[in-house]
Amino acid sequence: MFTQTRRTLIALALLLYATSLVLPAFRCNSGKSFDGFLVLGLGWISISSLDPRWLANVGFAVLVVSSFGKSTRFHPGTIGVTSILALCSFAPSLGCAGGAGSVDTTLGLAMGGYLWVAALLIACLANALASRQNEEPGYTAERLRE
C-alpha cells in the first residue's frame, strides 16, 4: 500500500517539477522573470556565491530514483536537507541584474518557483512513507528483500 502511494506521490512531484521548468521561477525588481529551465541550467553558479538552494535538485533526483527502485531504504538526511533547501527558497536572494551591471535581489518566487518547492516537498513526503512501511506490523527483513 505504501509503495503505491509513494510512487503516486513521486509521479505527482515529477509532473509539478516538469511544469515548473516552463514557468517563471522568480521575479526581479525590473519586472523580468526567469523560467525554470534557465534557473536549473544556471543555478549551480549560485553555489559559488554561498547560496546552496540549487542543490535541492540533487536531493530531488536521489529521492525520485530511490522511489522507483526495489529498495524501501529510508533517506532521512536527503529528506531533511532537500526540504530545508526548498523552504529556503522563500528567502530573498541575489540573482537579478541591477543597474550598471550590479546584482539585485529577487522580489520572490513566481508560479514555477512555487511548483518547484511543492514538487520537492512532495518527494520528501513520499520518501518519508518508506519509514512508515518499515514500521508496519509483521514487517520482516525478508519482506524488505522482495
pLDDT digits (tens, 9 = 90+) for 11-60: 999 999 999 999 998 888 777 788 899 888 887 777 776 678 888 999 99
β-sheet bridge partners, residue 96: 104
Residue 74 clears pLDDT 80, i.e. is over it: no
Q: Residues 87, 38: contact at Cβ < 8 Å? A: no
- Residue 83: its pLDDT value, please? 94
- Residue 19: its pLDDT value, please? 97
Backbone angles phi, psi at 34, to 5 degrees: -120, 130
Helices then strands, each counted (H, E), the chain: 6, 4
- Residue 70: its pLDDT value, please? 65
DSSP state for residue 78 in the 8-state scheme: H
Residue 142 clears pLDDT 70, i.e. is over it: no
Handedness of CA 112, 19, 49, 88 (dihedral sign): positive
Mean pLDDT of the chain: 80
Cβ neighbours around 93 below 10 Å, total: 16
DSSP E strand boundaries for the chain = 24-28, 33-35, 94-97, 103-109
Residue 10 clears pLDDT 70, i.e. is over it: yes
Residue 76 clears pLDDT 70, i.e. is over it: yes
Residue 117 clears pLDDT 60, i.e. is over it: yes
> What is the Cα–Cα distance from 80 to 104, expressed in whole angstroms?
29
Considering all CA atoms of the chain, what is the largest pairwise distance in Å, rounded to the nearest integer? 66
For the chain, what are the domain ranges? 2-134
Selected residue with higher pLDDT from 123 and 45: 123
